[in-house]
Amino acid sequence: MITVLAGGVGAARLLRGVLAVHPAAAVTAVVNTADDVELHGLHVSPDLDTVTYTLAGAINPETGWGLVDETWQAMATLGRYGGITWFNLGDRDLGTHLYRTQRLSEGAPLSEVTAEIVRGWDLALTVLPVTDDRLRTMVTIDEQGDGDVTEIGFQEYFVQRRHDVEVRSVRFDGADAALAGPGVLDALAGADRVVIAPSNPIVSIGPLLAVPGVRDAVVARRADTVAVSPIIAGAALKGPADRLLRELGHESSVVGVARLYRDLAATLVIDDADAHLAPAVEAEGLRCVVAPTIMSGPDEAAALGRTVLTA
């Protein structure tokens, strides 16, 4: 059994690679739900959907989120009324949010609904929301850079402001009272290998670890845990991971990632581009594996999947 701690895009790509070299029935993804957002009365779970759509081969290759062959008629109608249009939801994608919202309103927990959606895409792996409880990343920003701060929801930061604003702090609303979702702690305790995917350490892996019991469960498996750095040559491939690390006082490098993960993972996989930093990573107390980590296609993903399973 392999358990992967997952955010969105980077994790989905790595999971695709892991599934190319390992039976799906023996793979569990524990996925971030702190990016979830309620819009138009609908419950949207971006990271769960990115993982599901990617593994189903149905992700929109142009955006990296949403469904392939998407149309946007519902958004155009919303725009006609002056509705909320800064968060794009495609017509095909809306079916997922309609289904999820209806099932939640009937009282089904998110974990059960997620299993139904994953089955609907004929996937055999187990996808677990980290919690069934409400968990939301809240971001304190300094919009004008004048010391006047405001707290906004994650998607208002990430999508509405295109993460182009200074971040002062991040917190995970609801984390203290949240319970790890059904199967999450067992999936960590029972795994032969735990993998921390190349996801944003602050806003994708951070919320998973903030759910009581999860961090301790990973720490207990440190010897069998392998992390993949989302930072390559000092930068994120996409998104604000590099900027967020710096703004919150960390180093935007594989060494900064090593410092964040040293208590969680015995091994860190870094990209060939960072090979010269391997001794600095090992000085932080992790074993360092140098490998190609840019998953530009299925072959690269499968190779990285093999690396994390054998490292």
Sites of contact with ligand GDP (CB under 6 A): 7-11, 13, 47, 50, 198-200, 204, 228-230, 232, 236-239, 241, 293-295
Name the minimum Å distance from CB 283 to Ca ion: 31
Task: Tell me which of 3, 5, 6, 8 binds Ca ion, using CB under 5 A.
Answer: 8
Please identify, using beta-carbon distances, which residue of 209 and 290 lies nearer to Ca ion.
209
When CB distances are held under 5 to 8 angstroms depending on the partner's kind, the choice from ligand GDP, Ca ion, none that residue 201 binds is none
Q: Residue 256 binds which entry of Ca ion, ligand GDP, none, with Cβ cut-offs from 5 to 8 Å by kind?
A: none
**Closer residue to ligand GDP (CB): 25 or 300:** 300
Stretch (H or E) spanning 104: helix 91-105
Residue 128 pairs with which residues in a beta bridge? 30
Identity of the residue, 30 or 295, whose beta carbon is nearer to ligand GDP in the bound complex: 295
**Cβ of residue 184: shortest distance to ligand GDP, in angstroms?**
18
Q: Closer to Ca ion by CB, 7 or 240: give it.
A: 7
Give the residue with the Cβ less far from ligand GDP, 6 or 187: 6
Least distance to ligand GDP from the beta carbon of 269, Å? 8
Nearer to ligand GDP, 153 or 230 (CB): 230
Residue 13 or 193 with smaller CB distance to ligand GDP: 13
Q: Convert 206-262 into a string of H (helix), E (strand) and C (coil).
A: HHHHHCCCHHHHHHCCHHHEEEECCEECCEECCCCHHHHHHHCCCCCCHHHHHHHHC
Considering the complex, what minimum distance in angstroms separates the CB of residue 172 from ligand GDP?
Answer: 14
CB of 169 to Ca ion, least distance (A): 18
Query: Which of Ca ion, ligand GDP, none binds 232 (CB below 5-8 Å, type-dependent)?
Result: ligand GDP
Total interface residues for Ca ion by CB under 5 A: 4
Provide the 10 A C-beta neighbour count for residue 73. 10
- Closest separation between CB of residue 30 and ligand GDP, Å? 13
Beta strands (DSSP E) in 69-165 are 126-129, 136-142, 150-153
Rounded to an integer, what distance in angstroms lies between the CA atom of residue 241 and that of residue 107?
A: 35
Among Ca ion, ligand GDP, none, partner that 290 touches (CB below 5 to 8 angstroms by kind)? none
Q: What is the CA radius of gyration of the chain?
A: 19
CB 268 within 8 A of CB 229: yes
The CA-to-CA distance between both ends of the chain, in Å, stands at 16
Interior/surface letters 98-136, b for 16+ CB within 10 angstroms, e for the rest: ebbbebbeeebbbbebbbebbeeeebebbbbbbbbbebb
Should residue 47 be labelled a site residue for Ca ion when binding is judged by CB under 5 A? Answer: yes
Work out the angle at residue 57's Cα, subtended by the Cα atoms of residues 63 and 74, and round it to the nearest 5 degrees: 50
The Cβ of residue 172 has, within 10 Å, a number of other Cβ atoms equal to: 21
Of 12, 16, 19, 35, the residue at the interface with Ca ion (CB under 5 A) is 35
Structure tokens at 6: 């997952």
Nearer residue to ligand GDP within complex by CB, 7 or 181: 7
Q: What is the distance between the alpha carbons of residues 35 and 302, in angstroms, rounded to a whole number?
A: 27
**Integer Cα distance of 165 and 109 in angstroms:** 35
* Shortest Cβ 293–ligand GDP spacing (Å): 4
Please report how close the Cβ of residue 238 comes to Ca ion at its closest, in angstroms: 11
Which residues of the shown chain bind Ca ion in the complex (CB under 5 A)? 7-8, 35, 47
